[in-house]
């Protein structure tokens, strides 16, 4: 019987290593390898949503212009792939984001350098009701709830 033990222990170690490799999946989570086949299907559905006229709930007032929040997540930052681009040296490249959570709209700070200050209080995540005053770096945005008339400046939205 004693000759079995080394073999069994070797098997255990091989199994343990396999589980480690499987479980820890050394590729980073930013590059999902298995979910690629699903992705091409989704983008076809997604563009329909803005066209089907989901009612716009909020506007961001930025330097006197009203920017509608057309989709969620709605990112704000200084890099030019954001939905609202703010060219300000105190605003981070990816500064904040509006997203939906349990039916409510929330604002989340994306790890910015100067922080996101909502109504004078620095927040990492907060539910948005409308009428908030958001300070990103030195830029101040006002959030407005949508009323029926829509007079928007859409040049600030990436299409």
Partner 1 sequence: MAKKKVQKKVQRTQKKEPARADKKYLGVQTLVLFILFQLVSLLTVVVSGRGKAYLYMMIPLVIITYGGWFFVRKMRADTPFFLDVAMLLTFGTMIQCMLLKEDTVPKSLLIIYVLSAVMALVAGFLYKRCSFIASANGTALLIVVSIVLYLATLVLGAAVGGGVRNWISVGGMSIQPSEFNKIIYVLVMAGLLCTKDHPGKKRIWASIFVTLVNLGFLGIQGEFGTFLLILCTFLCLIFLFVPDIKVFASIFSILVAAGAAVAACCVSLLKITGGSSNFGPMQFILNQVQKIVNRFAVWLDPNIDPQGASYQILQARKALLNSNLFGSDTTTPLSNPTNDMVFPALTERCGLLIALTVCILFGLLLIRGTRIYFHCQDRYHQAVCAGLCFQLILQSFIIIGGSIGMFPLTGITLPLISRGGTSLMATFIILAVILVISAGTLWNGRRDYSSYDSKLQKARAVYPKRVSSVRNRNRRRTRVDDTRES
Interface ranges with partner 1 (CB under 8 A): 1-2, 4-6, 8-13, 15-20, 22-25, 29-32, 35, 73, 75, 81, 97, 99, 108, 117, 119-122, 124-125, 135, 138-140
The Cα 51–Cα 54 span in angstroms is 8
Dihedral, CA atoms, 82, 85, 86, 89, nearest 10 degrees? 60
CB of 140 to partner 1, least distance (A): 5
42 versus 151: smaller Cβ distance to partner 1: 42
Question: What is the three-class DSSP state of 155?
Answer: helix
Angstrom distance (rounded) from CA 60 to CA 144: 6
> Shortest approach of partner 1 to residue 100 CB, angstroms?
11
Q: What is the smallest separation between the CB atom of 114 and partner 1, expressed in angstroms? A: 10
Question: Nearer Cβ to partner 1, position 125 or 132?
Answer: 125
- Residue 43 or 149: the one with the smaller Cβ distance to partner 1 is 43
The smaller minimum CB distance to partner 1, of residues 67 and 114, is found at 114
CA-CA distance, 70 to 55, in Å (whole number)? 8
C-alpha closest to that of 156 among 92, 100, 87: 87
58 alpha-carbon distance from chain centroid: 17
Nearest approach in angstroms of CB 148 to partner 1 is 29
Bridge pairing between strands 104-109 and 125-128: antiparallel
Residue 149: CB minimum distance to partner 1, A:
27
Helix (H) or strand (E) holding 124: none
């Amino acid at each position: 019987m004693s000759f079995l033990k080394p073999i069994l222990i070797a098997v255990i170690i091989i199994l343990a290593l396999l589980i480690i490799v499987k479980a820890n999946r050394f590729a980073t989570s930013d590059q999902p390898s298995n979910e690629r086949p699903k992705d091409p299907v989704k983008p076809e559905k997604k563009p329909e949503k803005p066209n089907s006229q989901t009612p716009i709930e909020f506007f961001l007032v930025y330097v006197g212009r009203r920017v509608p929040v057309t989709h969620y997540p709605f990112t704000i930052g200084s890099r030019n792939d954001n939905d609202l681009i703010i060219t300000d040296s105190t605003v981070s490249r990816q500064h904040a984001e509006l997203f939906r959570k349990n039916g409510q709209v929330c604002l989340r700070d994306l790890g910015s350098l100067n922080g996101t200050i909502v109504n004078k209080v620095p927040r990492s995540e907060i539910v948005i009701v409308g009428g908030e005053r958001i300070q990103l770096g030195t830029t101040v945005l006002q959030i407005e709830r949508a009323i029926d008339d829509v007079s928007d400046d859409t040049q600030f939205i990436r299409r």
